[in-house]
Amino acid sequence: MTRRRRIYEGKAKILFEGPEPGTLVQYFKDDATAFNAQKKGTITGKGVLNNRISEYLMMKLGEIGIPTHFVRRLNMREQLIREVEIIPIEVVVRNVAAGSLTKRFGIPEGTQLPRSIVEYYYKSDELGDPMVSEEHITAFGWAAPQDLDDMLALALRVNDYLSGLFLGIGLRLVDFKVEFGRLWENEEMRIVLADEISPDNCRLWDVKTNEKLDKDRFRQDLGNVAEAYQEVARRLGILPEAGPGDHAAPKLVQ
Ligand code: UDP
């Protein structure tokens, strides 16, 4: 891990200089944090699972025409990505009430929302990621109105696609967070999906039992955190048993 220049270290990932200009290597750690890093821990094997799950989901999203920063997985914990300028906004899409939404509005956890709700949070550890409106985002210049339009449209497409994909393997996509970046190609700028998509930033509940198979197991001390992430990978058909580089189809749950 000393062979490359470290560009950035976050809570769950490290970014290294990539092999070519315009590329980075994204390394997935086992570290977990919650509640604005007030709760810290390690989930053994999480990095390996998230690397694999995020690879799979980014690849599938790429196949339906969602532009992403993902290039290819390099090994158990690393993937090659395009270097982008991260837009400092977390886009949260919610289908079912959970987490901060239940607290903010007093809606019971598990309530199906009348339609998908999109929220924006300003990425700032010091400020604790405050919720912001489109007005704040454009007025403070974090993203241009056109960027925001693209982010919203992409986030909703991601939601529709992933909701269906997870439902097919018996999981309800309750909510998730995505991040976007700006990618320049010649003179053109494109908004692309960045960061990761994994049980660290999605809420996934078993359709039949409502069992939580995501980071809430860590946040709420429910135990078997790594096992839950592994179950998500297993249902997606991407556990190592499937063979290296093998993208076995997800198992349809009747
Ligand atoms: N989320 C995330 N990073 C954050 C905050 C939220 O990935 O810094 C994800 C979280 O896992 C959930 C969704 O965004 O899937 C909505 O989270 P919420 O606003 O309910 O906050 P939480 O209760 O997770 O703090």
The answer to whether position 31 is within a domain reads yes
pLDDT band at 243 (very low <50, low <70, confident <90, very high): very low
Please give the distance, rounded to the nearest whole angstrom, from the Cα atom of residue 34 to the centre of ligand 1. Answer: 9
Query: What CATH code is carried by the domain that includes residue 234?
Result: 3.30.200.20
**One domain for residues 146 and 184:** yes
**One domain for residues 7 and 112:** no
Percent of the chain with pLDDT over 70: 95
**One domain for residues 141 and 232:** no
Atom number, ligand 1, closest to the C-alpha of residue 35: 25
- For ligand 1, atom 20, the nearest C-alpha belongs to 99
Please give the distance, rounded to the nearest whole angstrom, from the Cα atom of residue 38 to the centre of ligand 1. Answer: 14
Domain count, the chain: 2
**One domain for residues 70 and 119:** no
**One domain for residues 92 and 186:** yes
Q: Which domain holds residue 136?
A: 85-206
pLDDT band at 240 (very low <50, low <70, confident <90, very high): low
Query: Is pLDDT above 50 for 244?
Result: no
The answer to whether position 219 is within a domain reads no
**One domain for residues 112 and 50:** no
Query: What CATH code is carried by the domain that includes residue 107?
Result: 3.30.470.20
User: Which of 43, 127, 177 to mutate to test ligand 1, by most ligand atoms within 8 A of the CB atom?
Assistant: 177
**One domain for residues 11 and 74:** yes
**One domain for residues 68 and 112:** no
DSSP string, the chain: --SS-EEEE-SSEEEEE-SSTTEEEEEE-SEEEETTTTEEEE-TTHHHHHHHHHHHHHHHHHHTT--BSEEEE-SSSEEEEE--EE-SEEEEEEEE--THHHHHH-PPTTPEEEEEEEEEEE--TTTT--EE-HHHHHHTTSS-HHHHHHHHHHHHHHHHHHHHHHHTTTEEEEEEEEEEEEEEETTEEEEEEES--STTTEEEEETTT--B-STHHHHTT-S-HHHHHHHHHHHHT-SGGG-TT--PPPPPP-
**One domain for residues 76 and 133:** no
**One domain for residues 94 and 76:** no
What's the pLDDT tens digit per position in 87-115?
999 999 999 999 999 999 999 999 999 99
pTM: 0.94
